Amino acid sequence: MSGAKFPKSARLLRPNEFTQALRGKRIGRGAFFMLNRYIHYSAPDSSARLGLVIAKRHAPKAASRNAIKRVIRESFRVRRHELAPGDYVVRLHCKIPACSLTELKKITRQELDSLFDSAK
């Protein structure tokens, strides 16, 4: 066990935090996901925080949305201490393909790994 955790303090919770992060720099864009980052220059000792925007129109089934969120949180949790301090927002920007949950998780993990690697 690496000791990496995902506490409540590592999440974006308020709408204004999401708005600020979405106005920040776009780090990367894949086939399905987009990663934005806003760096807090006033608080350089803060750690990385994550926000998720998974729209129902892009992932109509709740099971799919929940699986996507679980994979994104896990990918972030593992890399959190490697990322620059700031607010990160992962946004699903297009409709997901019709496939099994296992395949969806695999696609999500591959894309998120490449996006978070580009954010280092």
Instruction: Note the pLDDT tens digit of each residue in 63-72.
Output: 999 999 999 9
User: How far apart (Å, rounded) are the C-alpha atoms in residues 75 and 50?
Assistant: 11
Range of the domain at 71: 10-118
Residue type, 52: L
Q: Identify whether 24 is part of a domain.
A: yes
The chain-wide mean pLDDT, for the chain, equals 91
pLDDT tens digits, one per residue of 21-34:
999 999 999 999 99
Q: How remote is the C-alpha of 97 from its chain's centroid?
A: 19
Residue 107 falls within a domain, yes or no? yes
Nearest to 10 by CA among 83, 91, 94: 83
The reply to whether 5 falls in a domain is no
Does any domain span residue 74? yes
For residue 43, name the pLDDT band (cuts at 50, 70, 90).
low
Q: Does residue 84 form part of some domain? A: yes
CATH number of the domain within which 103 lies: 3.30.230.10
Domain count across the chain: 1
CB hemisphere CA count around 111 (13 angstroms): 22
